[in-house]
């Protein structure tokens, strides 16, 4: 049986000769040739099609093996290649333009019983794009302009999807995102990393991930409740997700809507737009790793069950500084206009039980918090915070 290095060299020799029959004969049927970050080819037809198009686009394509390093069934093959993009074939959708190409790469070839069963090919796609004229030359004025445009896009994205995290207490940060920037995601210091409390909207995923990495890594995500604008980015954070048992079923549902919502209670102009808003905010169903109930501890906070807006809404309370993070236990903005206002009971269009929501605000007031941060907009604080919360619980909606 031919060794892995012999099979690998035979394969590259065949490509050098543009002998596709000999090249595909080196592969086991159904094996995968993975051009990392670009495409996956399935042998034999995918291999034949890809290189047929490549040779038609670069008829003078030449491949040179630089060296081969073998360990058991795997070979690392370093190579150089060059060619001229004169056609007549196209390359990845681009018409021939006469560009000269000179690249280097490395393939990691795995051989079993004399046939290639897998290949992972590593090459610089950006370098290829520059040489073909698809991207500007590195260091050129055009490249500088492209960099500036990319940085402008990043700034605009941060404006709408989440800026830098803002410290609000010892070991606690808030990240604001959405349009307007009224979706609050909290990051809590937790054993060298952070626990994320609430996950905002789907467009905030990159900003939350970035903040999490900067703060040591996201250990877990705790959802105050699982409405679309609070679970939105959770599935994209790469961490286990937890919620109250009464929220688990909705968390795992693909629907961005809760069964008890009554959007007809919204104003005539808001009711028609909210379905599309909710779909755009939602990141879809999430896998729940476990549940959290009242009295448990999360990153130095006690879990408090605050049902009403949602049956399983939970807040976090830290006694040492009387800090409360309470998701949508109360609102400090008008959900129809996005304009901030004083604390009040959540809009009945989105409540599971508005009377119970009022009682949960009173329950929060009885804890005696120094500051209470909601799921949206500004917090409630001040010497009269308990009075503000009692008024919120009693105010008309």
Cα angle, residue 205 at apex, residues 203 and 211 outer, rounded to 5°: 130
**Among 38, 42, 14, which residue's Cα sits nearest to residue 28?**
42
- CATH 3.60.15.10 maps onto the chain at 153-394
CB 272 within 8 A of CB 263: no
The pLDDT tens digits for 223-281 are 999 999 999 999 999 999 999 999 999 999 999 999 999 999 999 999 999 999 999 99
Asked if 123 and 92 count as a contact pair (C-beta separation under 8 A), the reply is no
Q: What is residue 339's predicted lDDT score, i.e. its pLDDT?
A: 85
Taking the C-alpha atoms of residue 124 and residue 40, their distance in angstroms, rounded to an integer, is 16
DSSP at 6: H
The CATH fold assigned to 153-394 is Metallo-beta-lactamase; Chain A (3.60.15)
Give the integer Cα–Cα distance in Å for 199 and 318: 20
Q: Are 243 and 292 in contact (CB under 8 A)?
A: yes
Task: Return the pLDDT at 155.
Answer: 62
User: Where are the CATH 3.10.450.50 domain residues in the chain?
Assistant: 4-135
The fold adopted by the segment(s) 4-135 is Nuclear Transport Factor 2; Chain: A, (3.10.450)
Q: How far apart are CA 299 and CA 4, in angstroms?
A: 52
Beta bridge partners of 264: none
Mean pLDDT for all residues in the chain = 92
Closest C-alpha among 230, 227, 234 to residue 260: 227
Neighbours of 391 (CB within 10 A): 15
pTM score above 0.75: no
* pLDDT for 234: 97
Give helix 354-366 / helix 385-394 axis angle, nearest 10°: 170
Helix, strand, coil % over all residues of the chain, rounded to 5 = 30, 30, 40
Per-residue pLDDT tens digits for 327-360: 999 999 999 888 888 999 999 999 999 999 999 9
Residue with tokens 């877990």: 220
Q: In the chain, what percentage of residues exceed pLDDT 70? A: 93
Per-residue pLDDT tens for 134-154?
776 677 776 677 566 666 665
Quick one: pLDDT band at residue 41, thresholds 50, 70, 90?
very high
Kind and range of the H or E element at 68? strand 62-71
Note whether 327 and 198 are within 8 A (CB).
Answer: yes
Q: Contact at 8 Å (CB) between 313 and 327?
A: yes
DSSP 232-244: TTGGGS-S-EEE-
Q: Which pLDDT score is estimated for 158?
A: 57
């Amino acid at each position: 049986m031919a060794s892995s290095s012999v099979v690998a060299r035979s394969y590259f020799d065949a490509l050098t000769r543009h002998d596709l029959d000999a090249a595909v004969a080196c592969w086991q049927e159904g094996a995968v040739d993975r051009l990392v970050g670009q495409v996956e080819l399935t042998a034999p037809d995918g291999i034949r099609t890809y290189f047929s198009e490549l040779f038609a686009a670069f008829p003078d394509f030449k491949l040179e093996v630089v060296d081969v390093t073998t360990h058991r069934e795997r070979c690392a093959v370093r190579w150089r290649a060059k060619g001229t993009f004169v056609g007549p074939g196209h390359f990845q959708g681009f018409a021939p333009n006469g560009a000269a190409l000179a690249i280097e790469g490395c393939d990691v070839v795995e051989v079993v019983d004399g046939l290639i069963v897998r290949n992972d090919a590593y090459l610089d796609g950006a370098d290829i794009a520059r040489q073909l004229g698809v991207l500007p030359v590195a260091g050129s004025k055009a490249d500088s302009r492209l960099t500036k445009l990319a940085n402008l896009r990043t700034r605009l994205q941060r404006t709408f999807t989440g800026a830098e995290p803002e410290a609000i207490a010892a070991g606690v940060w808030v990240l604001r995102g959405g349009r307007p920037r009224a979706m609050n995601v909290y990051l809590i210091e937790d054993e060298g990393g952070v626990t994320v409390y609430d996950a905002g909207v789907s467009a905030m995923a990159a900003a939350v991930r970035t903040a999490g990495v900067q703060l040591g890594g996201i250990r877990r995500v705790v959802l105050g409740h699982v409405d679309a604008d609070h679970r939105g980015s959770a599935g994209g954070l790469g961490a286990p997700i937890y919620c109250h048992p009464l929220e688990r079923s909705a968390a795992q549902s693909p629907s961005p809507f809760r069964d008890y919502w009554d959007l007809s209670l919204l104003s005539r102009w808001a009711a028609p737009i909210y379905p599309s808003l909710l779909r755009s905010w939602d990141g879809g169903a999430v896998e729940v790793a476990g549940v959290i109930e009242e009295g448990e501890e999360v990153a130095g906070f006690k879990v408090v069950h605050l049902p009403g807006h949602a049956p399983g809404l939970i807040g976090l309370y830290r006694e040492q500084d009387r800090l409360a993070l309470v998701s949508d236990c109360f609102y400090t903005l008008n959900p129809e206009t996005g304009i901030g206002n004083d604390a009040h009971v959540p809009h009945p269009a989105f409540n599971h039980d508005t009377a119970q929501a009022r009682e949960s605000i009173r329950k929060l007031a009885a804890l005696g918090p120094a500051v209470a941060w909601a799921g949206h907009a500004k917090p409630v604080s001040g010497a009269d915070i308990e009075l503000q919360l009692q008024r919120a619980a009693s105010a008309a909606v």
